[in-house]
């Protein structure tokens, strides 16, 4: 009788604690979004100059480049894949902008070419991984080699060039847009963030992203077309990576086909630190944003402590392994159904 009363009393049901797994998931989400705050406190204690307006804007500019590059990686992981062609796409855009601008091309014309090439890369990634049943890791790795090789052949290895002044201003910590004291790179990232979150949460395509990553067979039965979803995901990723490559030209003042190499590791780090499941079917770009901020500040902290780039890679690798032990133990969504 007591059992019947307990289950039939709404107040008692409401007072009962949530299941352990739900509590764990909520705690994980809180930890993800609190981690940038904690990292910023640590950074300010060790590097006081970060508290200045220029210091904060410098962090945000660095985060904006990584954040743009990580859009495609996030969506690729959410559908159960990965994108290893992001660094090559960044390098392609970087070289095209600087080289063609030095040859007298107008910037709108250059942007149009970069967009066309980026869409071709994304479409090829999506089609090859879908129509031929190839794993995205293999497809995107091959595409990365193809893109890099093609750039080197087209330029004959001479990747020098010139950078438009407004791109340099866009990544300057003291830059501004429309009289607002925020660099254009940060504004672009914030606009991209708003659009990506809107697509994830409010559109049919967003639901299809999660459906495909959760269970491809069930998604097909629900009339989701995996080929279309993958082509869109990898095309959006290529476009965002190209935007990052253009912004990086403002830092370097020239071109380098390998300028995007560090972003393969960094984008994956941001996704993992953000807690998006590597098994697919779960996660959000909002989590990746938290991961981007943590990764950027952690790297800045290591530089401030005069830790060399090689040891930085070691410490970032250790951080990823530790986080995978936390986030990587979740079962795939399809296994919970």
Q: Which of 16-30, 184-198, 238-252 has the lowest mean pLDDT?
A: 16-30
Burial class (CB in 10 A: 0-12, 13-18, 19+), 20: exposed
The pLDDT confidence band at residue 140, using thresholds 50, 70 and 90, is: very high
pLDDT at site 262 = 87
What single-letter DSSP state applies at residue 202?
Answer: H
pLDDT at site 23 = 53
**Residue of 332, 337, 336, 328 lying closest to 28 (CA atoms):** 328
Quote the tokens at residue 76.
């690729």
Instruction: Name the pTM for this structure.
Output: 0.85
pLDDT at site 16 = 44
**Residue of 66, 73, 114, 67 lying closest to 237 (CA atoms):** 73
CA distances from 130 to 28, 62, 133, 139 (A): 33, 34, 5, 10
Share of the chain above pLDDT 70, in %: 86
Q: How many CA atoms, within 13 angstroms, populate the side-chain half-sphere of residue 302? A: 16
How confident is the model over 76-86, as pLDDT tens digits?
A: 999 989 999 99
Residue 27 — φ and ψ, nearest 5°?
-65, -40
**Residue of 313, 249, 308, 317 lying closest to 90 (CA atoms):** 249
Mean pLDDT (whole number) for 6-15: 42
pLDDT at site 73 = 94
pLDDT at 251 over 90: no
How confident is the model over 186-214, as pLDDT tens digits?
A: 999 999 999 999 999 999 998 999 888 88
Quote the tokens at residue 324.
């995978």
Q: How far apart are CA 206 and CA 215, in angstroms?
A: 15
pLDDT at 156 over 50: yes
pLDDT at site 61 = 94
All domains of the chain in start order, with CATH: 53-321 (1.10.3470)
Mean pLDDT (whole number) for 231-246: 95
pLDDT at 10 over 50: no
- How many Cβ atoms sit within 10 Å of the Cβ of residue 185? 32
- Whether 289 contacts 73, CB under 8 Å: no
pLDDT at site 333 = 45
Residue that wins the pLDDT comparison between 232 and 43: 232
pLDDT at site 230 = 94
pLDDT at site 177 = 80
3-state secondary structure of 300: helix
pLDDT at 12 over 50: no
**Residue of 316, 323, 321 lying closest to 296 (CA atoms):** 316
Mean pLDDT (whole number) for 274-288: 82
pLDDT at 319 over 80: no
Measure CA 146 to chain center: 22
pLDDT at 74 over 90: yes
- Long-range contacts of the stretch 142-149 (C-beta < 8 A, 24+): 143/84, 143/85, 143/88, 144/84, 144/85, 144/87, 144/88, 145/88, 147/85, 147/88, 147/89, 147/91, 147/92, 147/121, 148/88, 148/91, 148/92, 148/257, 148/258
């Amino acid at each position: 009788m007591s059992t019947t009363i307990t289950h039939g009393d709404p107040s008692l049901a409401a007072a009962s604690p949530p299941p352990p797994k739900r509590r764990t998931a909520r705690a994980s989400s809180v930890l993800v979004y609190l981690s940038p705050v904690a990292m910023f406190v640590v950074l300010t204690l060790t590097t006081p100059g970060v508290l200045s307006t220029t210091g904060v804007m410098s962090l945000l500019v660095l985060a904006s480049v990584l954040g743009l590059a990580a859009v495609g990686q996030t969506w690729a992981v959410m559908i159960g894949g990965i994108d290893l062609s992001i660094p090559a796409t960044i390098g392609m855009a970087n070289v095209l902008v600087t080289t063609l601008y030095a040859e007298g091309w107008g910037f709108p014309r250059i942007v149009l070419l970069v967009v066309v090439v980026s869409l071709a890369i994304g479409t090829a990634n999506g089609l090859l991984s879908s129509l031929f049943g190839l794993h995205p890791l293999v497809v995107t790795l091959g595409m990365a080699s193809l893109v890099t090789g093609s750039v080197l052949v087209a330029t004959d290895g001479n990747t020098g060039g010139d950078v438009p002044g407004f791109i340099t201003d866009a990544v300057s910590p003291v830059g501004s847009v429309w009289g607002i004291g925020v660099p254009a790179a940060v504004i672009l990232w914030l606009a991209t963030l708003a659009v990506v979150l809107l697509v994830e949460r409010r559109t049919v395509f967003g639901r299809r992203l999660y459906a495909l990553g959760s269970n491809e067979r069930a998604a097909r039965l629900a009339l989701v077309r995996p080929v279309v979803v993958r082509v869109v995901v990898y095309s959006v990723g290529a476009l965002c990576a190209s935007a990052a490559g253009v912004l990086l030209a403002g830092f370097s003042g020239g071109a380098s086909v390998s300028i995007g190499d560090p972003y393969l590791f960094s984008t994956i780090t941001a996704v993992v630190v953000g807690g998006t499941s590597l098994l697919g079917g779960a996660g959000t770009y909002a989590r990746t944003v938290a991961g981007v901020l943590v990764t950027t500040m952690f790297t800045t902290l290591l530089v401030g402590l005069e830790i060399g780039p090689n040891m930085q890679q070691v410490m970032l690798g250790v951080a990823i392994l530790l986080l995978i032990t936390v986030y990587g133990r979740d079962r795939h969504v399809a296994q919970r159904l």
